[in-house]
A and B are shown apart, each in its own frame.
Chain A
Amino acid sequence: MSYILSLKNLILSRDGKKILRGVNLEVGDREIHSIIGANGAGKSTLAYTLMGLQGYEHEEGSIIFNGEDVAALSITERARKGITLAWQEPARFEGLKVRDYLAIGARGNGGITEEEIKEALRKVDLKPEKYLNREVGEALSGGERKRIELASIITMKPKLAILDEPDSGIDVVSLKEIVSLIQTLKENGSSVLVITHREEIAAASDKASLMCEGAILRSGDPVEISEFFKNRCIPCDSRVSPPKVE
């Protein structure tokens, strides 16, 4: 199987403490891969490290993306290679209209038509006529901003979309839509790395990995990993006795 992303022994420390303790992970081409784990397991840190955000520079290990080590590349360079990130709490942009925001990611693909922008909004269940000219700012609810963030991933058409808890701030009814959206990203040619707590999203993945205390404990069938997380991890106080990495 060919891998779009391969992490080897990724280590990141903060204030002398290892936040990522040697992460090893492989994400297949056009694979939906869920990262499951408790709060504080290092899931979001892993997402930020992969995107190359400031303050998340790893000190050891490699990030092989599409056959190339991208560890030394800037955020922009990684994005232009085809990696992007949807934040758990999307940024607010005062004065920036939704239509302009959705067009930004498509610049690298030769631009985008108005109809394609509208279609991306429809896919996240937002009416284009209502949202195209609104600001990506204060007046939108958390759920609306989340959907617009996901729409911006659709218009960008990345090779790897990292979605940091796309379900947070979204009601239970809408979970199906998120799952459907993730499938759409895959059908459009993207691999998707999803950070999530939700079994529903994990179950729709091709593969899942369980993260605990800054390391991947195990990877495999998403249903089994979800069950393991529910039955073994939630009751476990891993902070007292960190598990060994398999």
Chain B
Amino acid sequence: MAQITLNALSKEVEDITAAYTAAGGNAAVLHNHDLASLVISGNKVLSANGTEGIVLEKKETEHGVDVKLTIKKGYKIPLPVHLCFGLVPKDGLQEINMNFVAEEDSAVELIAHCTFPNAEKVIHKMDAEMLIGKNASLKYTETHFHGPHGGIQVLPKAHITIEEGGSYYTNFSLISGRVGYLEFDYSVDAEKDSICEMVTKVYGKADDKIKILEKISLNGENARSVIKSRLAITDNAESMFRGVTEGHAPRARGHVDCMEVIQGNAKAEAVPIVRVDNPLAKVTHEAAIGCVDKKEVETLMARGLEEDDAIDIIVKGMLA
């Protein structure tokens, strides 16, 4: 894979690097050629670095970048692949089309930071098709940093197929800055002996709107899954969670777990849905919406914390 070095786009590089750091990323990893990485600002690929076992293809489009990332058969990538997607200006549209393939018996961890520090009128769309091959493994962590304005729409949509014996773990986190409008839409087809765990953690404030749509179809025997959602909303924020798990095969096991904490005038709705059409499958769910647990708050107050500090610690713990 050819390597594009950081170049004349230095100001943009500098800005996106600063935003990446603010989002919790370690900028040094983007310059370390022993690590695979990809940095996209708007519709520009600022840097791309592949390592052995990784094929990274990218094509700049009018409003974003088409990316194809393939982990070759049998390769266990020892160090995480770092992705940085962002838009530094206060307005704009970014469309990322991602095609990810983890070939048979491969394993990789992707760490993505999405940064929109100045967003006032920004749309970030991601459309992803992901294939986790037979006995392959993908761990995908996506952390967002949005700045204080709330003028952003984040629209990630993904379809994931996990083949026999494969495993997929994803953790989506948007707890720094304003959410703006989030519509998170992931669906998974899980085949025989596969494992899927999807975790979303979002903290909505002011008039943020959060929509989480997750669906896992346990199509294969012994497929197992967990959907875990942790949302905290305050002020006038609104959230809607819909987590669907379908058990279609013998010994498929799934669980949907949603916990939402609301404060102020926030409004929350949680709809866990379980569908089972195989008598040997089992899918369970739990959902809870409420204020911060009184006993937890009083326990921390009894250790000397003010009520607001106690609530802050509890909410941050839930979203950690």
Could you tell me which A residues sit within 8 Å of B by CB distance?
Answer: 51, 53-54, 74-76, 78-80, 83-85, 87, 90-96, 104-105, 107-108, 135, 152, 156
Contacts and interface: CB of A to CB of B under 8 A. Distances in A.
B295 A156 contact: no
Contact of A105 (B230, B259, B303, B317): B303
B302 A84 contact: yes
B307 A96 contact: no
Contact of B296 (A74, A93, A135): A93
A193 to B, nearest CB: 14
Contacts of A76: 301, 304-307
Chain B, interface size category, equals 20 to 34
Given A92-B296, A93-B296, A80 B320 contact: no
Interface of chain B, helix or strand or loop or mixed? helix
B232 to A, nearest CB: 11
Residue among B294, B302, B314 facing the most chain A CB atoms (10 A cut-off): B302
Contacts of B293: 91
Given A75-B301, A75-B302, A76-B301, A95 B296 contact: no
B302 A95 contact: no
B318 A90 contact: no
Contacts, number: 63
B299 interface: yes
B320 A90 contact: no
Contacts of A93: 296, 314, 317
B317 A96 contact: yes
A83 B316 CA distance: 26
Interface string B278-320: 0000000000000001111011111111110000011011111
A93 B300 CA distance: 10
A54 B298 contact: yes
B301 A74 contact: yes
Contacts of B259: 94
B317 A95 contact: yes
Given A91-B293, A156-B304, A75 B317 contact: no
B309 to A, nearest CB: 9
11 contacts: A51-B302, A75-B298, A75-B302, A79-B301, A80-B304, A85-B302, A87-B299, A91-B293, A91-B296, A93-B296, A107-B305
A96 B313 contact: yes
B303 A91 contact: no
A106 B304 CA distance: 9
A156 B303 contact: yes
Given A83-B302, A85-B302, A91-B293, 9 more contacts: A76-B306, A78-B302, A79-B301, A96-B317, A96-B320, A104-B305, A104-B313, A108-B304, A156-B304
Nearest to A105: B303
Contacts of B294: 54
Contacts of A108: 304
B228 to A, nearest CB: 11
A104 B317 contact: no
Contacts of B319: 95
B288 to A, nearest CB: 11
B303 A152 contact: yes
Nearest to A92: B296
B318 A95 contact: yes
A53 B304 CA distance: 13
Contacts of B314: 93, 96
B198 to A, nearest CB: 17
Contacts of A80: 304
Interface in B19-64: none
